[in-house]
Structure 1
Amino acid sequence: MSSRCLSSVTERRRRPATPWLGAAFAVAALCTSAALSAAAGTDEPISVVKALAIEPSKVALGKVLFNDPRLSGDGARSCATCHDIETNGASGARFDRSPEGAALEFNTPTVFNAALSFRLNWEGNFSVLQDHARSLISNPNVMGGTMETIVQALGADPAIRDLVETAYGAPLDETNLVDALAAYQRSLVLVDSPFDRWLAGDANALTEAEKQGYRRFKAVGCAACHQGRNVGGNLYQRHGIFHPLTSGGPARVRVPSLRTVYYTPPYFHDGSAETLDEAIRAMGRAQLDVILDEDDVRNIAAFLKSLTGSHAGKSLRKAAP
């Protein structure tokens, strides 16, 4: 086991061993070891984010479709209704609403860096961006549309016809519609964060508080699940291992990326933590059995802020509640 994991174990308060605890630590060690190997040229569990390859003509079409309310059954909402690209790629609500006004089951994740995750949604029930888009369009609680009607309406628009012809050389259909949405999402990868600049060798890219926050993030064990280029998004984990974390929900969730976490309150799959400080304290206790002091919370929050890059030269900002 690495010194990083040993440090994490020794910082936990002493408690009786349980049958699954050794296995949990073993999994954490394996995850951290894999992340270390993936961070090329460093011994850090986090690696630099690089932009994904994109096809500009498909991205241009996807951006138009993403913002078009004709993707919904009632013509009143677009993808951007819940995923505001001008702020944080999500919303500030604990739960967004269905077309009928009912609260959705989960807090809305950001669309920024979603293309870097191995699975999509809190439950990780999709692995392909196109399949995810297709599901959301037809889901009565989200967009509530029918693909045949949507393709017919959008395909009759001369501006969209031109974009589709340029991108695909064919009329709009279900396949190229969801592919264009996926292409746009692949363009929503945040790059050039202060932390990435520091990883790349810029010793002045981080403040002392951010560096100390990163050291504590590793020492207490956060990096066992939050690692890799997306600082999460690459495995499943139980929540509430030592103490309850949320009001309930699925027993395990896809570990979320922390790349945008500073700008995406509220937190957890049920949106139950209103602030980042609250979420940091809760995660320490529930997942690691660690009570973090105020300096730790403040410094870890500073480190987490440093993880966020920019999109099209613009920084993220928090959405209104």
Structure 2
Amino acid sequence: MIETQSRLPQSRGSKIDLGRDLFHDRRISASLTLSCASCHDLETNGATSRRFDRGISGRRLQFNTPTVFNSVHNYRLGWEGRTRTLKDFAIGTLGSEHVMRDRDRSAERFAADPRMFARFEEVYGAGPNRTTIADALASFMSTLVTPAPFDRWLRGDRAALTPQQVRGYERFKRAGCASCHQGVNLGANLFQRRGIFHPIGGKGPDDLRVPSLRNVAVTAPYFHDGRVASLPGAIRVMARSQLDLTLADEDVRDIAAFLRALTGTYRGRPLRQASVRE
């Protein structure tokens, strides 16, 4: 179950506040045009509605952007699962030639800003550098958890889910979806072959980190290449390719209803689908 963050000590809170500001600061990109929030919109779904976001050069990124919400509970980060911690993921993203291409320039910019320099000194006892910037970002991202109706249901609130959602949950388990989508994040804790029974998606690695299903109803488009636009469509594709099943329309509707019970809230507001942007 996803739990809300407990009351934080002041020092931890200061680090999170710093990370929150860095998350929205475009000075972390070499071109001064991108922030973390450029691709991870916290006002909607923690990602965007594009099939592929664009990096610093305007070039299309290789994979569809996953939501940043609940990423603290992923055992690996990114579709290929190359990093294990939010801090390492932040370091890799900032240094990526295709995403931020930072090369320590952001540290120099923040060091030249007296207010930001003082904040780093207060939190870390030193000025900004690649490690402290990534640590502050990771501290903030670790707070981005979204409790959902399903969590209340698991704790015993039988009114948290509708009868259709409960039926969908049972079908979700019987069909075998829970074989990969399980644990606190309903996924994101193992790798799986892409297309066990039938091909799925276009070019890309054969093995991918199983994505979390939290907030899946508002994070279209789906899959590593963003090729499926609707939740029912994604359910049908996954059932056929990974389980060799052709689901009845009623089953698809019920499973989709259950998945909507995984849509959580952030700062008291339900997450929602991001607007389509090109």
In the superposition, the TM-score normalised over structure 2's length comes to 0.95
1:61 corresponds to: 18
Letter in 1 for 2:56: P
1:182 to 2:142 alignment: no
1:161 to 2:117 alignment: yes
Letter in 1 for 2:118: D
Identity of matched residues, %: 49
8 Å CA contact retained: 1:87, 1:317: yes
Deviation at 1:58, TM superposition (A): 0.8
The residue matched to 1:285 in structure 2 has which SS? helix
User: Which of these residues, 114, 126, 136, is aligned with residue 71 of structure 2?
Assistant: 114
Deviation at 1:166, TM superposition (A): 3.1
8 Å CA contact retained: 2:91, 2:131: no
1:264 corresponds to: 219
CA 1:171/1:99 → structure 2, altered by over 3 Å: closer, same or farther? closer
User: Which of these residues, 82, 92, 111, is aligned with residue 135 of structure 1?
Assistant: 92
Letter in 2 for 1:177: I
1:248 to 2:186 alignment: no
8 Å CA contact retained: 1:52, 1:186: no
- Give, in whole Å, the separation in 2 of the partners of 1:172 and 1:194: 40
Letter in 1 for 2:119: L
User: Which of these residues, 292, 302, 308, is aligned with residue 257 of structure 2?
Assistant: 302
8 Å CA contact retained: 2:29, 2:56: no
- Give, in whole Å, the separation in 1 of the partners of 2:253 and 2:119: 47
Q: Which has the larger radius of gyration?
A: 1
The residue matched to 1:182 in structure 2 has which SS? helix
- Give, in whole Å, the separation in 2 of the partners of 1:173 and 1:105: 28
**Structure 1: runs of 5+ lacking an equivalent:** 1-47
> 5 Å matches for 1:178-217?
178-191=134-147, 193-217=148-172
- Give, in whole Å, the separation in 2 of the partners of 1:122 and 1:52: 26
CA deviation map 1:4-59 (0-9, x unaligned)? xxxxxxxxxxxxxxxxxxxxxxxxxxxxxxxxxxxxxxxxxxxx112456621111
- Give, in whole Å, the separation in 1 of the partners of 2:44 and 2:159: 27
The residue matched to 1:253 in structure 2 has which SS? strand
- Give, in whole Å, the separation in 2 of the partners of 1:199 and 1:295: 24
The residue matched to 2:265 in structure 1 has which SS? coil
- Give, in whole Å, the separation in 1 of the partners of 2:100 and 2:79: 18
- Give, in whole Å, the separation in 2 of the partners of 1:319 and 1:89: 9
Deviation at 1:63, TM superposition (A): 0.6
User: Which of these residues, 107, 118, 141, is aligned with residue 151 of structure 1?
Assistant: 107
- Give, in whole Å, the separation in 2 of the partners of 1:310 and 1:167: 29
- Give, in whole Å, the separation in 2 of the partners of 1:68 and 1:99: 14
Deviation at 1:169, TM superposition (A): 3.0
The residue matched to 2:38 in structure 1 has which SS? helix
1:85 to 2:42 alignment: yes
Point out 4+ residue stretches in structure 1 off by more than 6 angstroms: none
- Give, in whole Å, the separation in 2 of the partners of 1:249 and 1:101: 21
8 Å CA contact retained: 1:194, 1:308: yes
1:49 to 2:2 alignment: yes
1:229 corresponds to: 184
- Give, in whole Å, the separation in 1 of the partners of 2:190 and 2:43: 29
What is the Cα-based RMSD across aligned positions, in Å?
1.2
Letter in 2 for 1:123: E
The residue matched to 1:212 in structure 2 has which SS? helix
8 Å CA contact retained: 2:185, 2:214: yes
- Give, in whole Å, the separation in 1 of the partners of 2:161 and 2:38: 34
